[in-house]
Structure 1
């Protein structure tokens, strides 16, 4: 991005999600966050979260793990996330998570992982047909499933060329 050679790195945060379809039909997402202090090379946060949910995006389990944290209290209260079992990942996801779990009850970094796991969950469910050789967009069209991403970004605006091409029945005139 910047080609300014006079800058020095301070901190790197890496966040990664991996999604899986289990044999029992449930989905899992493993999220991992690593904060590294560049001067020392030490990771001050190394944490993971395993979210299990079904085709309807209803949460079945949440398992946090903390390998490294700067304070002993970072390891406190891992069961607070169990309050999310039974709720659905849907529009308003972050607000519903906040309503169930206050920021002082949980780890800020686990909450950050959870917030964007909602998007990863949608991706997992929509891409799962590829495991059987079916293109996800074709699968949605054939099943009459309205794409969750419709009007969710500029490319997928109902009045745009992408929707007109892939979902002409949902396209609207400008």
Structure 2
């Protein structure tokens, strides 16, 4: 169902966040996030030599790549900032190597906010880590789920109760894993 029709309006800004997951030849996974911010009008910029950023030119054009294994451990990380409002913004890119050694699991967002919040990072790169973590989970899910044969007596899969669709009493759980369902199979 689409959104309701909007009131008459004029577009001012577009943020595009794209995340992609790649299976590498060595069995590891590259997960890449790309963020681009563009205004629909010229804006002043004290950080650009011209003194302005023309409409349609990227204010922010940034990427992060993490390399992970199937346990979602981050084995490599890099960030790049092709467009920023200020040249010195790009200096913080190297800080994102601190992602190496982390695991994408509950608490990942808090850990990354502690590592890269405030002046320890870039707000926009930090914001991209949430969608990047989700993309890592989604890109590898089919392989990770195939490796686990859940049967009665096994621990409850971690995905159960993580959202409305995966709640214990959902049709998905009742059909596929009735032994983990709150109310059993139909």
Which TM-score band applies after superposition, normalised by the shorter structure? 0.7 to 0.9
Query: What secondary structure, in the 3-state scheme, does the structure 1 residue paired with 2:139 have?
Result: helix
CA distance in 2, matches of 1:71, 1:80: 17
Cα 1:153–1:165 shift into 2, 3 Å: same
1:66-85 equivalences under 5 Å are 66-85=81-100
Q: Where has structure 1 moved over 3 Å in runs of 4 or more?
A: 143-148
| Offset at residue 14 of structure 1 (A) | 0.7
Gaps of 5+ in 1: 130-135
| Offset at residue 127 of structure 1 (A) | 2.5
User: Is contact 1:20-1:124 (8 Å) kept?
Assistant: yes
Cα 1:7–1:124 shift into 2, 3 Å: same
1:13-52 equivalences under 5 Å are 13-39=15-41, 40-52=55-67
Query: What secondary structure, in the 3-state scheme, does the structure 2 residue paired with 1:155 have?
Result: coil
* Normalised TM-score (structure 1): 0.85
Cα distance per residue 1:135-163 (max 9 Å; x no partner): x5xx2663668544311111110112121
Cα 1:5–1:158 shift into 2, 3 Å: closer
* Normalised TM-score (structure 2): 0.80
**Alignment length, in residue pairs?**
166
1:15-164 equivalences under 5 Å are 15-39=17-41, 40-128=55-143, 136=145, 139=146, 142=149, 147-164=157-174
Cα-Cα RMSD: 2.1
Gaps of 5+ in 2: 42-54
From 2, 9, 13, the counterpart of 2:11: 9
